[in-house]
Amino acid sequence: MSATVDHAAPSGAECSSAALVEPGELAGDPVVAAAWADLCARARHANPFLAPAVLLPALRHLAEPGGVRMLTVGSPGHLELLLPVAPRRRTRRTPVRASVGWAHTHHFLGTPLVAPTLDQRGWRAALAALRESGDAWFVLPQTDVDVVREVEAAAACLGLVTRRLDEQSRPVTRRHEHDDYAELRLSGRRRKELRRVRRRLDERLGGGLELVDLAAGATAQALETALQEFLALEAAGWKGTDGGAIAGRPAERAFFLEACRALAAQGRLEVLALRGREGRAAAMALVLRDGDTQFTFKIAYDEQHAACSPGLLLYLDQLSRFHDSGAALVDTCAAPDHPMARRLHGDDRTLVTLAVALSPRRGALAVRWARAVATTAAAVRRHRTTTDPREDRP
CA distance to 23, 208, 289, 319, per residue, from 172 (Å): 31, 29, 15, 11
pLDDT tens for 165-223 read 999 999 999 999 999 999 999 999 999 999 999 999 999 999 999 999 999 999 999 99
pLDDT > 70 fraction of the chain, expressed in percent and rounded: 92
Cβ–Cβ < 8 Å for 338, 301: no
pLDDT at 373 over 90: no
pLDDT at 382 over 80: no
Say how far apart CA 318 and CA 9 lie, in whole Å: 45
- The closest of 133, 122, 117, 132 to 157, measured between CA atoms, is 122
Predicted local confidence at residue 381, as pLDDT:
67
Does 4-167+351-382 carry CATH code 1.10.287? no
353 bridge partner residues: 166
pLDDT at 3 over 70: no
pLDDT average, residue stretch 364-393 = 71
Query: Domain limits of the chain?
Result: 4-167+351-382, 176-327
CB atoms < 10 A from the CB of 339, how many? 17
The torsion of the CA quartet 193, 195, 201, 203, rounded to 10 degrees, works out to: -120
Predicted local confidence at residue 384, as pLDDT:
64
The torsion of the CA quartet 331, 333, 336, 342, rounded to 10 degrees, works out to: -50
DSSP 73: E
pLDDT at 15 over 50: no
CA 8 from chain centre, in angstroms, equals 32
The conformational region for residue 74 under phi > 0 = left, psi -120 to 50 = alpha, else beta, is: left
Give 180: exposed, middle or buried? Use CB within 10 Å, 0-12, 13-18, 19+. exposed
pLDDT tens for 49-88 read 999 999 999 999 999 999 999 999 999 899 999 999 999 9
Query: Could you tell me which residues come within 8 angstroms of residue 90 by beta carbon, excluding any fewer than 6 positions away?
Result: 97, 98
pLDDT average, residue stretch 36-60 = 97
- Candidate CATH numbers 3.30.1460, 1.10.1240, 3.40.630, 3.90.1690; the one for domain 176-327: 3.40.630
Cβ–Cβ < 8 Å for 26, 56: no
Asked whether the domain spanning 176-327 has the same topology as the one spanning 4-167+351-382, the reply is yes
pLDDT tens for 94-150 read 889 999 999 999 999 999 999 999 999 999 999 999 999 899 999 999 999 999 999
pLDDT at 385 over 70: no
